[in-house]
Copies of this chain bind each other. A is one copy, B any other.
């Protein structure tokens, strides 16, 4: 099973998105799509006179902003992705973490920053894998918007990377799972200025060496730390690569950065 997360860059470019969806629809076997959509949410916020408020790269989600991300992630983007996958013969289904209680979460506790209606997911053990397995059995492809819920009636804005890794870990109980993060680079780069310097295979020892040398772009470190954490919880491989190369990545051809234990 492939759990594939796409970011804003793909969603914002209609031509890229169409190609990606065509490629995604053609991937054999069970698969899950997870999407963000922060830029489009920010645009709608501005149109409605709500100023986006970011702290440390995370959106502060007040009640008005929660409405906006619910509309944009859960409605506009999610349902259009589903309709476009249907047109490509991929029988998909749009979900948030609230639907079928797939991803229980809780509101992030207030410490020095109050993130507002932001969700931290409960452990992968609480993911409704039974439901996801039944979808896979029926040949249905879930498409997840980056929303969860607190079980008390409130939706929560939730990091899409975290949703993807939580689902991947949970599904590893029943499936052999590849967790694939797509962005606009060919993979993890040895030299951030050189797009051809892709690291094709990253394992713990090599990663430790590269970190010691300071060879990995600092912005990539949390993603890689999370990747190794997912592997330790049962995910078979984490692949970081270019959305334009999803076909090669999914078939296991040399594309992107393959991270394994």
> How far apart are the CA atoms of A158 and B93 in the complex, in Å?
18
Partner of A87 from the list B80, B92, B152 (CB cut-off 8 Å) is B152
Q: Which of A94-102, A199-207, A250-258 contacts B (4 or more CB under 8 A)?
A: A94-102
Q: Which of A71, A75, A151 has the most CB of B within 10 A?
A: A75
* Contact assessment for A74 and B67 in the assembled complex, using a CB-CB cutoff below 8 Å: no
* Contact assessment for A153 and B83 in the assembled complex, using a CB-CB cutoff below 8 Å: yes
Considering only residues 83-138 of chain A, those with a C-beta below 8 Å from chain B are: 83-84, 86-87, 91-96, 98-101, 130-131, 134, 138
User: How far apart are A56's CB and chain B's nearest CB, in angstroms?
Assistant: 26
Given the interface pairs A47-B48, A99-B94, A138-B131, the reply to whether A76 lies near B67 with Cβ below 8 Å is yes
* Contact assessment for B48 and A83 in the assembled complex, using a CB-CB cutoff below 8 Å: no
* Contact assessment for B155 and A80 in the assembled complex, using a CB-CB cutoff below 8 Å: yes
Q: How many copies does the complex hold?
A: 2
Contacts of A153 in B (CB 8 A): 83-84, 86-87
* Contact assessment for A86 and B70 in the assembled complex, using a CB-CB cutoff below 8 Å: no
Does A147 belong to the interface (CB within 8 Å)?
Answer: yes
* Contact assessment for B71 and A75 in the assembled complex, using a CB-CB cutoff below 8 Å: yes
Given the interface pairs A75-B70, A92-B99, the reply to whether A86 lies near B149 with Cβ below 8 Å is yes
Given the interface pairs A48-B48, A131-B138, the reply to whether A76 lies near B71 with Cβ below 8 Å is yes
Partner of A131 from the list B74, B79, B140 (CB cut-off 8 Å) is B140
Contacts of A78 in B (CB 8 A): 74-75
> How far apart are the CA atoms of A117 and B184 in the complex, in Å?
33
* Contact assessment for A140 and B100 in the assembled complex, using a CB-CB cutoff below 8 Å: yes
Report the nearest B residue to A94, measured CB to CB: B99
User: How far apart are A65's CB and chain B's nearest CB, in angstroms?
Assistant: 13
Partner of A134 from the list B75, B99, B134, B155 (CB cut-off 8 Å) is B134
In the complex, the 3 A-B pairs of residues with the closest C-beta atoms, listed nearest first: A75-B75, A71-B71, A87-B153
Q: Which residues of A contact B (CB under 8 A)?
A: 44, 47-48, 67, 70-76, 78-80, 82-84, 86-87, 91-96, 98-101, 130-131, 134, 138, 140, 147, 149, 151-155
Please list 27 pairs of residues, one from A and one from B, whose beta carbons are closer than 8 Å in the complex, sorted by A's number. Answer: A70-B76, A71-B71, A71-B75, A71-B76, A74-B75, A74-B76, A74-B79, A74-B94, A75-B76, A79-B96, A79-B99, A79-B155, A83-B98, A83-B149, A84-B153, A86-B98, A87-B152, A87-B153, A91-B101, A92-B100, A93-B95, A94-B96, A94-B98, A94-B99, A100-B140, A131-B138, A134-B138
